[in-house]
Amino acid sequence: MPMAEIYFDYAATTPIDDRVITAMLAHMGRTAQFGNPASSSHGFGQAARITVEQAREQVAALVGATAETIIWTSGATESNNLALKGVAACAPANRRHIITSLIEHKAVLDTARQLETEGFDVTWLAPQADGTVSPAAVSAALREDTLLVTLMLVNNELGTVTDVAAIGEAVCGRGALLHVDAAQATGKVAIDLARWPVDLMSFSAHKTYGPKGIGALYVGERAYPVLKAQIHGGGHERGLRSGTLAPHQIAGMGSAFALASELQATELARIAALSTQLRTALLDLPGVTLNGHTSQRIPHTLNLCIDQPGFNAARLAGTLALSSTSACNSASASASHVLLALGLDTTQAQRSIRLSLGRYTTEADVEAAIKAIRDCVLAPVAAFGLPAW
């Protein structure tokens, strides 16, 4: 069993907080509030509907939105698909240009590639060497026929943060829409959709100590009239996403986002301290460098290149649960597309590891990780007869 490993893969998924589980259990079982939220003619359905709307308000509160702008989905992947395909389906003939970057999540990259096959012209922005996509690069790529710009708020592999507020100003000024994938951002950075010029934003519960299988899409007032549903069958969710809602999952996401709002400040400070301890110790090792911007980042995610002859991250298995790429790529042996886009060669990308910290990471966990990685790094150094400093 891998449970003996110390968990450093919070960017892949987070455990459900016990308080979230309690909220979910209130809607599971025949003695619970198990009703269909669409069944408004009796108390069971009415109670479920109240739960759904309360959770909608909780999600909206964390990101500075109003409840009616939150549309339930099955997760950020569906939200990304709905945002891109839904806008593309309503695109006028003179708006067939989409802008994204080479370091997006596959849910955006693959969807954009699909739209290319349907006749859309996609501009693939290269990141800067520090893993950021600059507002200047986006502005330079904007055209009269630009329909949509889609970028991450927090990169899932690097932890770098995109200045979506500045980008949104430029995008809005050219009459295009801005979609932001915020799956990795909730509870980690302040999000203010009441002020940010963002039209669509994707969320996921399982990155924020909620259950898998539930997410949401923020749909702003500019986007709503030009967004076409991709799942039909009843016209639920303001006509944008049909299907019977799952109150237990929705209650879980609402509870998770409410907790994130409550804990964000203290949690950020604690994780920042642990991250600094981990980063300082590991960057002191030979051949270890940080992938991504040194400061324009969340502290939760560290991506390190261990460019050391003989280093093999597989030797950490059984001790540390971490990633060498994003979870969506883990089934493939190929190097991370994000790291290759930064300019790393294939060998450097394959020698990189991602450590992501979270709510239950302790100082003892960090100390154990430092020791395990140090031993793994220095062992090949000694084997090659190099100085171990």
**Residues that are catalytic:** 328
From the number of C-beta atoms within 10 Å of its C-beta (0-12, 13-18, 19+), residue 194 rates as: exposed
| Residues in Cβ contact with 95 at an 8 Å cutoff, skipping those fewer than 6 apart | 145, 146, 147, 176
- Cα separation, 276 vs 271, whole angstroms: 8
Is 329 in a helix, a strand, or coil?
A: helix
The string of DSSP codes covering 59-102 is HHHHHT--GGGEEEESSHHHHHHHHHHHHHTT--TT--EEEEET
Tokens for 200, please give them.
Answer: 């669509």
- Partner residues linked to 9 by β-bridges: 356
Give rounded-to-5 percent helix, strand, coil for the chain. 40, 15, 45
Rounded alpha-carbon distances, angstroms, from residue 266 to 130, 214, 260, 298, 357: 28, 26, 10, 14, 14
| Residues in Cβ contact with 50 at an 8 Å cutoff, skipping those fewer than 6 apart | none
β-sheet with 200-204: strand ranges across = 70-73, 215-219, 200-204, 177-181, 146-152, 97-101, 121-125
- Dump strand ranges (E) for 97-195: 97-101, 121-125, 146-152, 177-181
- Cα separation, 301 vs 353, whole angstroms: 10
Residue matched to tokens 């309690």: 22
Contact between 247 and 37 under an 8 Å Cβ cutoff? The reply is: yes
Is 273 in a helix, a strand, or coil?
A: helix
**Helix-helix angle 18-25:247-283, to 10 degrees:** 170
Phi and psi of 119, rounded to 5°? 105, 0
- Partner residues linked to 215 by β-bridges: 73, 204
- Of 209, 185, 236, 190, nearest to 71 (Cα)? 236
Question: What type of residue is 14?
Answer: T
